[in-house]
Amino acid sequence: DVQLVESGGGSVQAGGSLRLSCEVSGYSYSYCMGWFRQAPGKEREGIAAIYAGGSRTYYGDSVKGRFNFTLNNTNNTLYLQMNALEPEDTAMYYCAARVAGSGFSTKEADFPYWGQGTQVTVS
């Protein structure tokens, strides 16, 4: 079974940084994974996606230049480094994965596997 476990959220002041972790089991980075977030009262937003271990990446306009992926194959963990955080980044953040071999996507409906989420609060 595919399991995704996020961690690393917390409270930080504007301008600060956080690194979110997504520990992956039963899955390979060679497929497509994404990070989504949902702020109170708003729809879930896809902010970043990675495919084939990094051969293709996507960053949404709201995070481009501030967030980036890193991979640790030793401990099967996908990281999202978040820099220059803004109050607008406050949200629950989710790691998600597509079905093996299904290609690259950034659409929420294309991701059947989800973690439980980790809260990020920027003040």
Residue 19 clears pLDDT 90, i.e. is over it: yes
Count of Cβ atoms closer than 10 Å to residue 60 Cβ: 16
40: its two tokens:
């109170």
Is pLDDT larger for residue 10 or for residue 103?
Answer: 10
Between CA 114 and CA 11 the distance in angstroms is: 23
What average pLDDT is seen over the chain? Answer: 92
Which 3 state secondary structure label does DSSP give 32? strand
Average pLDDT over residues 24-50: 90
pLDDT of the residue at 26: 84
The helix/strand/coil state of 52 is helix
pLDDT tens-digit series, residues 39-96: 999 999 999 999 877 889 999 999 999 999 888 878 888 999 999 999 999 999 999 9
